A and B are shown apart, each in its own frame.
Chain A
Amino acid sequence: MIFAGIDIGSITAKAAIIKDNQLISTHVLFTGYNTLTASQKVFEELLSKVNISKNEVKTIISTGYGRNSVDFADKALTEIICHGAGAHFLNPEIRGIIDVGGQDSKAILLDNNGKVTNFSMNDKCAAGTGRFLEVMARALELDLDLLGEISLKADTPANISSICTVFAESEVISMIAKQEKRENIIAGIHESAAARIATLAAKIKIQEPVMMTGGVAKNIGMVKALENRLKCQILVTDSAQENGAIGAAVLASTL
């Protein structure tokens, strides 16, 4: 039996296919302006990649902020439940999840059965989200994917005191003007975002083992900064960005 999950985030669209309780493949695209087109495209490209036809997919669950626009899905569920199911599927030991996506950051608690027992989300503010890092990368004229590696070379992380993304960007610009080392600025940006996310984790008293999911988990500098803040090891899988879609596919198999 084949099941699919589609996660429409604010920046990327993700899809995952599960067959006989095994993860077959995943796919990621930029969401762009039209969420429905993005969901169709990411799903169709994934299907052709693994050579499966639409008719073979028994159930589809959509998730992410664009979940309700995926009109061909059988059901829409929030990314909170889906990230929980995805993390539990990949590692049943996981009790805490830090999910940092484009516009949201969340901390999620799981019980032994992978059920979500509590969660906390960022307020109406981009600090501590992927969008925050994107704005900073632009200010530093760097590719977003390079932030993590470069930050590891920092000797003294810069102190970014502003909570607000817009003010933090001005701080970064003034640091650039003072010729502060780029790696130190980036490490400071990561620490600032990690501080915000750690508050969400503290609110629900996050439990180990902790897994980080969402696109930002690909940034090794962010993962390290969060490990320092939370004083615990954080597990990251190769499919961290697609974890929500995987979870949606897992939940589709239980419908």
Chain B
Amino acid sequence: MNDKVVEKEKQKITSAKKMRDIMTTYYIDAMSAKENNKLVAWITSGGPVEPLIAMDIIPVYPENHGAMIGSSKMGEDLCMKAEDMGYSNDLCSYARTDISCAIVKGGPIGGLPEPDMLICCNNICGTVLKWYEIQARFFNVPLFIFDTPVCHTEFSPEIAKYVRTQIDEYIAFLEKVTKKSFDHDKMAEVGKISYQGQLLWQKVLNTTANRPSPMTAFDAFFFLALIVTLRGTMIAVDFYKELLLEMKERIKNGISIVPNEKYRLLWDNLPIWYQLKWLSSKFSDHDACLVADTYTSAWCSSLKYIDENDFLNSIAEGYTRIYLNIGVDQMADQVIEMIKFYNIDGFVMHSNRSCKPYSFGQLDIKRIVESKANIPVLMIEADMTDPRAFSQSQVETRIDAFMEIINQGK
């Protein structure tokens, strides 16, 4: 092997293989749930999954599936199939791909295992309500809606009471569907494990504050899958312990992910799944490392509200006050905090045609960040899964010009 190849091998994150194996096993388990007399629940990415784990129900995430469809560049075809069915191209591309995939059994894994129930939490968006209603009708299964009002400024006592009541309703729903009684001791245990997993995920993300960064946000987009799908299990805890160790080791040995890290960037919104490789090398060519993002930290950003010893009571607040369910001023505050913590030189915002709650308000956040943090902000228009909303040469010119501006200011 020549030096360049050796150098490249050294830069690779070795935990990636293990993570792929875990995800494969997870999907095989989910696919063979029926044979093993297990129930499958489809749940939104920000939904309270822990009670499902405590009831031994396998949670499956259409949004994680959407990310897989996007990464394997199968989004356009599945979006078009949904449009053929009459759905508007303005509808979220995760919703479009999931709706058409349920019928044609397409995508990289031939569709998701059929659900026995659906759990829909609207802390991430309003689209999920109609999307899950459509799927509940299609699969003819019960649907539970966990309604989390937007916390523009505060988590009022009214919101607290309203959301807390739904946790009991949620448990009653699960007892009815499974015909089993809820085990509170097991729930307490799962709660602790979930808390521990989120804490470890936060620690992994924090390692990129080191200069040079041991991983990029592009890696975080990949490693995120476990905290989403296996939150509340020891699999996630054990894996993130290992990943954290690997990151610490890389820092100790001075191994950076971008060979000559010169600029540190922050990413906003979902990834552009079908362009990760191109974007990653584009930024790397400019010696820029996307060290952090507002997306992957959403699965640990409300940890401060959660009490691991009083899990069920505290998740009402934890699940309500996530990044997408708070006011624009609070979002901007979090972004500015991240800019300071990670020592950021520039902020890249993906205006995502699919994700309305994430993209609406971005111009305000952009203005606040420009004036308070005094760093350049770039806005690129695209879509997380539908490549028809992405124009490479337009985005390339914007990124190049943005990096030239950052370079000028250095």
* A-to-B contact residues, CB < 8 Å: 65, 77-81, 104, 115-121, 123-124, 203
- Is B161 close to A, CB under 8 A? no
Interfacial residues of chain B within 352-410, with CB under 8 A of chain A in the complex: 363, 370, 376, 379, 381, 389, 391, 393-394, 397-398, 400-401, 404-405, 408-409
Give the interface size class of chain B. Answer: 10 to 19
Are B408 and A119 closer than 8 Å at their CB atoms? no
Shortest Cβ gap from B363 to chain A (Å): 8
The chain A residue with its CB closest to the CB of B399 is A78
Interface residue from B381, B391, B404 paired with A77 (Cβ < 8 Å): B404
Interface of A is mostly: mixed
A123, B394: Cα distance in complex, Å: 8
Are B405 and A117 closer than 8 Å at their CB atoms? yes
Shortest Cβ gap from A54 to chain B (Å): 26
The chain B residue with its CB closest to the CB of A119 is B401
The chain A residue with its CB closest to the CB of B391 is A124
**Nearest 10 CB-CB pairs, A to B?**
A80-B401, A78-B401, A124-B391, A78-B400, A81-B404, A115-B408, A116-B405, A123-B381, A78-B397, A124-B394
Are A116 and B394 closer than 8 Å at their CB atoms? no
Interface residue from B363, B376, B394, B401 paired with A81 (Cβ < 8 Å): B401
Q: Which of B363, B381, B401 has the most CB of A within 10 A?
A: B401
A203, B381: Cα distance in complex, Å: 15
User: Can you offer 27 A-B residue contacts whose CB atoms are under 8 A?
Assistant: A65-B393, A65-B397, A77-B400, A77-B404, A78-B397, A78-B404, A79-B397, A80-B397, A81-B401, A81-B404, A81-B408, A104-B397, A115-B405, A115-B408, A115-B409, A116-B401, A116-B404, A117-B376, A117-B405, A119-B405, A121-B397, A123-B381, A123-B394, A124-B381, A124-B389, A124-B391, A124-B394
Chain A residues within 8 Å of B376, by CB: 117-118
Shortest Cβ gap from A98 to chain B (Å): 16
Chain B residues within 8 Å of A116, by CB: 401, 404-405, 408
Chain B residues within 8 Å of A104, by CB: 394, 397
Shortest Cβ gap from A100 to chain B (Å): 15
The chain B residue with its CB closest to the CB of A108 is B401
Shortest Cβ gap from A161 to chain B (Å): 20
A180, B401: Cα distance in complex, Å: 42
Shortest Cβ gap from A202 to chain B (Å): 11
Shortest Cβ gap from B345 to chain A (Å): 14
Q: Which of B376, B379, B404 has the most CB of A within 10 A?
A: B404
A231, B14: Cα distance in complex, Å: 59
Chain A residues within 8 Å of B408, by CB: 81, 115-116
A79, B391: Cα distance in complex, Å: 17
Shortest Cβ gap from A85 to chain B (Å): 10
Chain B residues within 8 Å of A124, by CB: 381, 389, 391, 394
The chain B residue with its CB closest to the CB of A117 is B405
Chain A residues within 8 Å of B381, by CB: 123-124
Interface residue from B363, B394, B404 paired with A80 (Cβ < 8 Å): B404
Shortest Cβ gap from A239 to chain B (Å): 22
Shortest Cβ gap from B367 to chain A (Å): 9
A121, B404: Cα distance in complex, Å: 15
Interfacial residues of chain B within 153-200, with CB under 8 A of chain A in the complex: none
A115, B397: Cα distance in complex, Å: 17
A79, B379: Cα distance in complex, Å: 17
Shortest Cβ gap from A253 to chain B (Å): 16
The chain A residue with its CB closest to the CB of B376 is A118
Shortest Cβ gap from B122 to chain A (Å): 29
Are A121 and B405 closer than 8 Å at their CB atoms? no
Shortest Cβ gap from A83 to chain B (Å): 10
The chain B residue with its CB closest to the CB of A120 is B379
A203, B389: Cα distance in complex, Å: 21
Chain A residues within 8 Å of B370, by CB: 118
A118, B379: Cα distance in complex, Å: 11
Q: Given A115-B408, A116-B404, do A121 and B393 touch, yes or no (CB 8 Å)?
A: no
Shortest Cβ gap from A151 to chain B (Å): 29
A142, B395: Cα distance in complex, Å: 33
A117, B406: Cα distance in complex, Å: 9
Shortest Cβ gap from A107 to chain B (Å): 12
Chain B residues within 8 Å of A203, by CB: 363
A120, B376: Cα distance in complex, Å: 12
A237, B406: Cα distance in complex, Å: 29
Chain B residues within 8 Å of A123, by CB: 381, 394
Chain B residues within 8 Å of A118, by CB: 370, 376, 405
Shortest Cβ gap from A110 to chain B (Å): 11
